[in-house]
Amino acid sequence: GAVVSQHPSRVICKSGTSVKIECRSLDFQATTMFWYRQFPKKSLMLMATSNEGSKATYEQGVEKDKFLINHASLTLSTLTVTSAHPEDSSFYICGFKRGPGGSGNTIYFGEGSWLTVV
Amino acid sequence: AQTVTQSQPEMSVQEAETVTLSCTYDTSESDYYLFWYKQPPSRQMILVIRQEAYKQQNATENRFSVNFQKAAKSFSLKISDSQLGDAAMYFCAYNGVTGSRLTFGEGTQLTVNP
């Protein structure tokens, strides 16, 4: 159980364009979803948190107009990087927290997405 | 704010031996959850083990066990009978009782030597 699917696993886009990353929980409902960014050989940096039906809460320093997060349902969250620039190139990973009563605040992660902006 | 510290950027172990990865954290909360995640070269984050702070008994999952010292705010991971597939980056993580934020340490890169 607790399978989270994220795609695309790798994407290359041109500078100035937008790219969407999708994250789905396949076998459970998620009340809270997280988006992280990871730089090479570094830890995961929380970008934003979203609850179903509510707007995402962004961490300090993360531009909400640039990184659009849509928590569409209890099983789907998307991250859209708008007007991408080369400095947005990174590894992005989503995480889902199960609904009430499930797994003690455990977050299950997708496979991650490599974004390269050229 | 909660912080998680992993003081060992790199560790190595011989296959079949035992290794312990260290983690300390800082929090003012009395109830919370602690985790160890494994990130192999594929980069997917895989849950290794979870500990509820209110439980005194240390969590175990097959060859993986923790030494949870609540007063000392220490949460180390012991890997017994190390296997080549255990080679990965290991992250210690903290989540409060509301589950609204998972905070990671900087990670420990584990190498398993044949």
First-to-last alpha carbon distance for chain B, in angstroms, is 41
Q: What is the pLDDT of residues B95-114, one digit of tens each?
A: 987 767 889 999 999 999 99
Interacting residues of A15 by C-beta distance below 8 A, sequence separation 6+? A84, A85, A86, A117, A118
Question: Are B44 and A109 an interchain contact pair (Cβ–Cβ within 8 Å)?
Answer: yes
Q: What is the pLDDT of residues A27-70, one digit of tens each?
A: 888 888 999 999 988 899 999 998 877 789 999 999 999 999 98
Residue among A46, A104, A111 minimizing CB distance to B44 = A111
User: Which residues of chain B are within 8 Å of residue A95 when distances are taken between CB atoms?
Assistant: 45, 102
Question: Are A46 and B45 an interchain contact pair (Cβ–Cβ within 8 Å)?
Answer: no
- Does pLDDT of A101 surpass 80? no
CA-to-CA separations, A32 to A8, B4, B54, B67, in angstroms, rounded: 21, 22, 23, 29
Which of A6, A36, A28, A43 has the alpha carbon at shortest distance from B39? A43
Ramachandran assignment for B98, one of left (phi > 0), alpha (psi -120 to 50 degrees), beta (any other): alpha
Using CA coordinates, name the residue in chain B closest to A112.
B44
The verdict on B33 touching A (C-beta cutoff 8 Å) is: yes
Distance CA B35, CA B95 (A): 8
Q: What is the pLDDT of residues A102-112, one digit of tens each?
A: 566 788 999 99
pLDDT for res B2: 84
Give which of B102, B103, B109 to mutate to test A binding, by max A Cβ within 10 Å.
B102
User: Which residues of chain A are within 8 Å of residue B100 when distances are taken between CB atoms?
Assistant: 32, 49
Strand partners, A6: A23
